[in-house]
Structure 1
Amino acid sequence: MNTKQLEAHLWGAANILRGLIDAADFKQYIFPLLFFKRISDVWDEEYKLALEESGNDLDYAEFAENHRFQIPKGCHWDDVRKKTTNVGLALHKALRGIEKANPETLHDVFGDAQWTNKKRMTDEKMLDLIEHFNKIDLSVANVPHDIMGEAYEYLISKFADDSGHTAAEFYTNRTVVKLMTMITDPQPGESVYDPTCGSGGILLNSALHLKEQGKEYRTLKLYGQELNLITSAIARINMFMHNVDEFLIVQGDTLDNPQILENDELKKFDVIMANPPYSVKRWNQAKFSNDPFGRNIWGTPPQGNADYAFQQHIISSLDSKTGRSVVLWPHGVLYRDAELEMRKKMIEADLVDAVIGLGPNLFYNATMESCLLVCRMQKDKKRRNKIIFINASEEIARVTAYSYLDETHINKIFSAYKDFKNIEGFAKVVSTNEVLTEQNGNLTISRYVPKSTADKFDIDTELSNYVEKSNDSIHAVSEFNTYITSNPELALFRKIIKGREDWKRYKFKDLVNNLNKSESKPLDKGLERYVGLE
């Protein structure tokens, strides 16, 4: 089975759920079922191989040593598929049984979907979903790890498209991730950490980066922490689907309770890449001000914005010699007055290596422009006490509603970062002293790399444009309000909606028959009642 065929079939599962549950919740059901089918088919594959090796020794074929994951009696995919009633309960028991049989690797990996809630998922729908997955053989022989991994990532991106504003919680634009990985350049044997790892795409890209270069990727050690239980489970499944074993992904609040420790202190990492939730307002500021891990190295951020709490956690988690980080942020971290003193201390410590401005819409389902803040604990000699500013806001491609960086954009930005030279209108190397004394610690990219003389910011022009656009918006809203309050058809519609308790239920086939017989323009003919769809 090729990648496109598998992707199309897997996405077909979403169509079974469409209308039953919210699109943002599809992942709670489809990812666990997909993984359950995969490990069951692989277990069967391993069992057959062990039988061949042992001359049909049934006991030997079931030995734990012959299987990547253990599947207890009664917990196999085929066991659940035999059920016709209480299917959700049978599935729930099977998934929990597998988790208990693999406590070190699969604890909580199947999430907390409401399998037994028949109001949300009937036996009939559950069976439809199971039969849909049953049509494909997900053994490694039929679907190799690279194809399985690509299809899983495809599903993640499709769910991001479908789930609206929640997408940013688990998905980072993969073209931006590629640029981030090229900048940090993880090497075999190094450790890579993402403190807000979402679905694990940033971590996985580190391994794929080495694999593409023909380097040993299996010695890379991947670590992540994710607040959301379901999302952390998706990340772990993502690793397994890509046949990556050297990882540790834990669930929990990184700021309130960092869990990846060594000798009761924060573990130190060679590489950290992250796309933290921005402008978090609900966080434990009081606890951070007396942080037991000493992460408040520059001070305590304001309650209304935890960005610099995440940034300080990242710096505190870097290895003092090899550590480097790149974080995707909105531009506010570069100039906000509330964080000025913290930002100055970061610059004074010569930690900031580069500030790279990216174009709009690269934050998933958000139109704002973003930037990459690159830090290094030990800079190369030519980069010491200097920062390169790169204005790549025009380096962006767009297809329908999707924005991304193509290979040309990525290579241009990376080359500018690596070469560390001035490029008119695109990149400039600035001393940290200039940033601190002449710009008072403001890292706004346009202060150092204006696009062109004609594009310089003019406050009077911008205010005039803002007022004009605001007046246009106010006028449009006023017109819309007038329309919806005065339109007779909408008034009739509101009257009908208010009488919903008097509506009658129809079987769909009767409704279709009735519609086939219905009058055109019934209101014009004086009919008081007619059949319509809610």
Structure 2
Amino acid sequence: MEPVDGKGGSGGKPGRRGRPRRAAVKPVEGVNGVKGRADLGGWLWGGADILRGAVRAEDYQDFMLPLLFFKRLSDEYRVTFEAKLAEFGNEEVARDKMFYDHLVPEGCFWEDVWAIGVNVGSKLNDVLEAIARANPEIDRVINRTDFNNPNAIPEERLVRLIEHFSQRNLANGNVSMDMLGDAYEYLLKKFNEEAPKRAGEFYTPREVVRVLVECLKSGEGMEVYDPCCGSGGMLIESYFYLKERGLDASNLFLFGQEINDETWAMAKMNVFLHGMKAWIMQGDTFVNPQFLDGGELRKFDMVIANPMWNQKGFKQYMEDDQYDRFGYGVVNNSSADWGWIQHMLASMNENGRMGIVLDQGALFRNGAEGSVREAVLKDDLVECVVALPEKLFYNTGAPGCLIFLNRNKTEEKRGKVLFVYAAEGYEKLSNMNQLRAEDIRRIIEGYDEFDDVDKYSRVVELDEVEENDWNLSVTRYVDIFDPPEPVDIQQVWNQLRKLENQRLETEEKLAEYLKELGYEQQ
């Protein structure tokens, strides 16, 4: 029996409930161009318009993303099956799992859900559970949302959302992996704009991610690790850094861990829709790091992250650590920033490099953090510090910074730190700021050139950093102010004498006026 068998309409035939056959799905025009990408992203975002008013904005993603995942998986399976059936002329051979990344059980295709008119949420839940059972690697990913909860999503809106997604065939022949992946990233960005307070849980602005990746430069054969990977954006950018340069991106090995179950599912979907391979694990990196080698932390070539800033309450985890991660010192409970840096350092191999996004307070806070920062600097691990503009991030207006560390600095960089003041290079949006292409390029070029640029960057010897009590605030080292204009003392003195003469003349006239009025000066 074909996987698309007509029961409930899965072959495009009328379903048992008599819903009329729908029009043929249409391919996305301009699939290889900017127009096609914009069209697909805008069309997908039209699903939010269907949900608006009936579903909380922060919940849009919970319903739209699993449906997008399901639609792609179903469409791609059907197209592949039909191609293999034409090639081999045998249904059993055409269904062989060797041809598919994921299996779709009989009766569990998109059209099987589309064809029914009542109890749609219940049917959808059953279908996604069946797909998850057939594909354990996407369990809790495709089936993470309860679609049969009318308080969260009324059935009428769910039906309209399914109808909306049914308009396009999302198989790879119509929508490339790169294009669909871009559309997924576009949806994440739009979700952030709708519900910015939730955005910081999973999304780093792609402009910031691009700076990190293009400074660190992922390469063929490298292993890249993000210990708090959110929706996977940094790993995906590392992959495309190679692909855009004509290198073999399939020879890049990507690893990520994410504590939040929903965000972990988003990362798994993101990787799948981009057509990539990555190991994405769910769990608390501080308490239970997932990537181990013989009971010890696995070592990576490149480590990259944007952890939640100033996380509180991690001191006990560091004191109880079993993986020898916090040898530079245990920080207090008010901020785990330098705890994250130590975890990432411990995850780097002998030639490893890392980049992290943090609040600028990590550059100068004293106490336990200051002691850890001093120890890391004394080991000559800090390579570069970049001060970013304010209002770049969705859940805070505070200015962030980038800190780059390197276990194997080149000779010219040893004993030195590059400070970059990039806080004034941005485009102002309605309620946020955004790095422009020229701002991104300037930061990357400054990092690569490792040189002094007036009012922008400066290479500083560690001795000077020590003189400043190991403070890494960029403006301590980069003079961003215009020099004061030179003062002409003689000119100032002449002006003062002139003003004094004017004052005396004014007093004399005032005395004459008072005398005329009968007032004598005492």
Which residue is 2:186 aligned to? 154
Q: CA separation in 2, counterparts of 1:413 and 1:48?
A: 49
Q: Deviations over 1:195-223 (max 9, x none)?
A: 11111111100111111111111111111
Q: Give yes or no for the alignment of 1:31 onto 2:65.
A: yes
What runs of 5+ residues in structure 1 fail to find an aligned partner?
456-534
Which residue is 1:243 aligned to? 275
Structure 1 consecutive aligned stretches of length 4 or more whose deviation exceeds 4 Å: none
Contact 1:289 1:299 in 2 (8 A): no
The AA in structure 1 aligned to 2:464 is E
The one of 71, 90, 93 aligned to 1:60? 93
Which residue is 2:252 aligned to? 220
The AA in structure 1 aligned to 2:263 is T
Which residue is 2:294 aligned to? 263
Contact 1:435 1:441 in 2 (8 A): yes
Q: Pick closer, same or farther for the CA change 1:358–1:26 going to 2, 3 Å.
A: same
Which residue is 2:23 aligned to? none
Matches within 5 A, 1:13-92: 13-55=47-89, 57-92=90-125
The one of 356, 359, 367 aligned to 2:386? 356
Contact 1:225 1:251 in 2 (8 A): yes
Q: CA separation in 1, counterparts of 2:327 and 2:111?
A: 55
SS of the residue corresponding to residue 139 of structure 1 reads: coil
Q: CA separation in 1, counterparts of 2:463 and 2:342?
A: 22
Which residue is 2:459 aligned to? 429
Q: Post-superposition shift, 1:392?
A: 1.1
Q: CA separation in 2, counterparts of 1:228 and 1:111?
A: 16
Matches within 5 A, 1:106-125: 106-110=138-142, 112-125=144-157
Q: Post-superposition shift, 1:121?
A: 2.2
Which residue is 2:362 aligned to? 333
Q: CA separation in 1, counterparts of 2:443 and 2:312?
A: 32
Which residue is 1:169 aligned to? 201
Q: Deviations over 1:44-96 (max 9, x none)?
A: 010011011112x1221111112221111222212222222221121112112
Q: Deviations over 1:416-443 (max 9, x none)?
A: 211111112111111112212x111111
Q: CA separation in 2, counterparts of 1:69 and 1:303?
A: 44
SS of the residue corresponding to residue 170 of structure 1 reads: coil
Q: Post-superposition shift, 1:269?
A: 0.8
SS of the residue corresponding to residue 460 of structure 2 reads: strand
Contact 1:181 1:205 in 2 (8 A): yes
Q: Post-superposition shift, 1:265?
A: 1.3
Contact 2:455 2:481 in 1 (8 A): yes
SS of the residue corresponding to residue 360 of structure 1 reads: coil
The AA in structure 2 aligned to 1:156 is L
Contact 1:422 1:428 in 2 (8 A): yes
| Aligned residue-pair number | 449
Q: Which has the higher contact order (CA 8 A, sep 6+)?
A: 2
Q: Pick closer, same or farther for the CA change 1:360–1:11 going to 2, 3 Å.
A: same
Contact 1:395 1:405 in 2 (8 A): yes
SS of the residue corresponding to residue 359 of structure 1 reads: coil
Please identify the structure whose Cα radius of gyration is greater: 2
Q: Post-superposition shift, 1:333?
A: 0.5
Q: Pick closer, same or farther for the CA change 1:411–1:4 going to 2, 3 Å.
A: closer
Q: Post-superposition shift, 1:111?
A: 5.4
The AA in structure 1 aligned to 2:49 is N
Contact 1:389 1:427 in 2 (8 A): yes
Could you state the TM-score of these two structures normalised by the residue count of structure 1? Answer: 0.82
The AA in structure 1 aligned to 2:431 is A
Say which is worse superposed, 107-116 or 170-179, in terms of deviation.
107-116
Q: CA separation in 2, counterparts of 1:402 and 1:214?
A: 34
The AA in structure 2 aligned to 1:447 is R
The AA in structure 1 aligned to 2:131 is I
What runs of 5+ residues in structure 2 fail to find an aligned partner?
1-27, 29-35, 485-522
Q: Post-superposition shift, 1:454?
A: 5.8
SS of the residue corresponding to residue 250 of structure 2 reads: coil
Contact 1:111 1:230 in 2 (8 A): no
Could you state the TM-score of these two structures normalised by the residue count of structure 2? Answer: 0.84
More helix by share: 1
Q: CA separation in 2, counterparts of 1:13 and 1:99?
A: 24
The AA in structure 1 aligned to 2:356 is V
SS of the residue corresponding to residue 389 of structure 2 reads: strand
Aligned-residue identity in percent: 36
Q: Post-superposition shift, 1:260?
A: 1.6
Contact 1:21 1:120 in 2 (8 A): yes
Q: Give yes or no for the alignment of 1:204 onto 2:233.
A: no
The AA in structure 1 aligned to 2:409 is K
Which residue is 1:281 aligned to? 312
Matches within 5 A, 1:346-385: 346-385=376-415
Q: Give yes or no for the alignment of 1:93 onto 2:123.
A: no
Q: Post-superposition shift, 1:376?
A: 0.2
The one of 440, 456, 470 aligned to 1:410? 440
Q: CA separation in 1, counterparts of 2:47 and 2:183?
A: 13
Q: Deviations over 1:278-312 (max 9, x none)?
A: 011144x2131131011111111111211111111
SS of the residue corresponding to residue 241 of structure 2 reads: helix
Contact 1:51 1:61 in 2 (8 A): yes
Q: CA separation in 2, counterparts of 1:349 and 1:304?
A: 25
Say which is worse superposed, 91-100 or 333-342, in terms of deviation.
91-100
